[in-house]
Structure 1
Amino acid sequence: MSNSDSRPIAVFDSGLGGLTVVRALMRRLAGESIVYFGDTARLPYGTKSPRTVLQFARQCLRFLMRFDPKLLVVACNTVSATALGDLAGEFTVPVIGVLEPGAAAAVAAARQQHAAGPCTVGLIATEATITSQAYPQAISRLDPAIHVLGRACPLLVPMIEEGRLPTNAVVQAVLQEYLEPFIKLRAPSLILGCTHYPIFSEAIARVLGPQTHLVDSADETALVVKQRLATMHAFGPVPSEEPLTCYVTDQGQRFENLAAHFLGRPIRQPVWVAPELLESAT
């Protein structure tokens, strides 16, 4: 049996936030080629109905299957929370979300401060993720004594996609309002329940203080992917000269700067895919 597999890892998000997951994958898995799809024309997903989220996600993952990936990574908390169960059974390769790894990391962080007994962790996410109750359910399965206080933060994704910096006065005012319940709670951990939010992680940490550990599911997801590839004997054989190819449904003027900010390195121009092409293929 071969212990290598040159097929790419396919990663999907509603926008560019999933590039934080790509960044973690590239850090942990240097030998892998990655195909990324950002549905930038139809974001944000967090304010859409579960039916629409499932429809859009299915279209995007079917597009990625054209590249014969060895696994699919859903780098979107909204899709992971509302549609992953349906999607996982529709494809012939593993489908890995970001929610379960994030929940596990939040439990571990909480128990470092509170070894036993009831405690509460915080969660900021999109409206759809909060409404789904997927994080509280996942955490309860791991540790029934840990409760989740969640708050929807619908303004954060649009501000991030607009390219607003964490130092922007509007951003700081919005963060102060959204995070107020967690300041009062003095939560041991706060889940950044959207892959866009790590862009504001330093600003969030300043508002909350050192007692709150921020949980970014990107690195935890990359670890799960690495473990799955090990069980599949499917690691990439050699580092790729061009490890990342990006596809998007809308290419705004800020793409290069914003994508490089998410990825932590310069990025090549993406390939544009018309949303109508995705819709006609379903």
Structure 2
Amino acid sequence: MNTTKSIGVFDSGYGGLTVFKSIAAKLPDYNYIYMGDNARSPYGDHSFETVYQYTLECVEWLFAQGCPLVILACNTASAKALRNIQQKVLPVKYPDYRVLGVIRPTAEVIGSFTESNTIGVMGTRGTVNSESYPIEIHHFYPELEVVQQSCPLWVPLIENNEHIHEGADYFVKKYTDELLAKSPAIDTILLACTHYPLLIPKIAAVVPEGFKLVAQGDIVADSLADYLTRHPEIESQLGKASEKKFYTSGDEQVFDKNASIFFDEKIVSARVNLKI
């Protein structure tokens, strides 16, 4: 048995690093390869077909690097590409490989956070328009009211490191106020984009006291730990040398500089040439 394989973690850019950070903290022994498709991000406003094509190309690249398991640490990719990859591609081309997303694990537990049975979901246009969260959440919690709000400027603000400045406060308050105006019963906000944890202090400043702000990193990490326990045929293939490798389709120096904002470690990446 080859036990030098890695867990692949994919995102359209930097946001998936917030999930990867939680995964690596929960499961520090495994080998990981992170791939950010920065040259073609953000994915939020792309069509379903474009996001599917981009995501599949990156997933297949991770397979080729020796990753039998890939986590789509990107809500847009999970919403627009995961189902087709799982149902149409893997059974035909990669029957021994697995691809998991971030939406289902979150939907499985989100009901435990709310007391009013009303949650807000804040995400990219692509994630919100897909209706993936209401659909998945209602599988597990049919009684919940799910209210959505797209936040198209949050990712660009974060990826340009403008979220730390006062100028971002207006847009944080704007989208948060628009969400809360849709239902006074909301007591929990799900941050359905892996970039958004970086905005938690600013969001917390504009919501009522006692509001729950739910990020996905720890949820996905716990779900992955459970998955590996239940699937020894995958787990037994994985190397355990605590290696972390980073790749980007964009400029390596720019990636390394910005990635540290999300991952809290110095990162040295290599460039992957994809079809642009």
Q: Does 1:177 align with 2:174?
A: yes
8 Å Cα contact 2:6/2:239 also seen in 1: no
1:63 and 2:61 are equivalent in the alignment: yes
Q: Which amino acid aligns with 1:30?
A: P
Are residues 238 and 248 of structure 1, via their aligned partners in 2, closer, same or farther at CA, if it must alter by over 3 Å? closer
Percent of aligned pairs sharing the same letter = 30
Q: Unaligned 5+ residue runs, structure 2?
A: 91-95
Any runs of at least 4 consecutive aligned residues in structure 1 with deviations exceeding 6 A, and if so which?
A: none
Alpha-carbon distance, 1:70 to partner: 2.8
Letter of the structure 2 residue corresponding to residue 248 of structure 1? T
Matched, 1:273 2:275: no
Contact in 2 for aligned 1:102/1:216 (Cα 8 Å): no
Equivalent residue number for residue 153 of structure 1: 151
Structure 1 residue 274: Cα displacement: 2.0
Asked if the contact 2:248–2:255 (Cα under 8 Å) also holds between the matched residues in 1, the reply is no
**Shift of residue 95 of structure 1?**
1.1
Q: What is the RMSD of the two structures over their aligned residues, measured on CA atoms?
A: 1.9
Query: C-alpha deviations, 1:35-73, integer Å up to 9, x for none?
Result: 011000111111010011101101110111112213110
- Residue equivalent to 1:134: 132
* 1:109 and 2:106 matched: no
TM superposition score normalised by structure 2: 0.90
Residue identity matched to 2:255: F
CA–CA distance in structure 2, aligned partners of residues 52 and 95 of structure 1: 18
Counterparts of 2:140 and 2:271, CA distance in 1: 41
Aligned to 2:245: 245
8 Å CA contact retained: 1:187, 1:211: no
**Structure 1 6/274 Cα, relative in aligned 2: closer, same or farther at 3 Å?**
closer
What amino acid sits opposite 2:136 in the alignment? A
Q: Tell me if structure 2 keeps the 8 A contact 1:13–1:74.
A: yes
Q: Which residue of 1 aligns with 2:101?
A: 97
Q: What residue is the counterpart of 1:231 in the other structure?
A: 230
What residue is the counterpart of 1:28 in the other structure? 26
Aligned-residue offset at 1:253: 5.2
Look up the SS of the partner of 1:25 in the other structure: helix
**Superposed displacement of residue 252, structure 1:** 6.4
Question: Matched residues in 1 for 2:77 and 2:211: separation?
Answer: 26
Q: How far apart are residue 140 of structure 1 and its match?
A: 0.8
Any unmatched runs of 5+ in structure 1? none
Aligned residues: 265
**Are 1:186 and 1:211, in contact at CA under 8 Å, matched by a contact in 2?**
no
Decide whether the 8 Å contact of 2:35 with 2:247 is kept in 1: yes
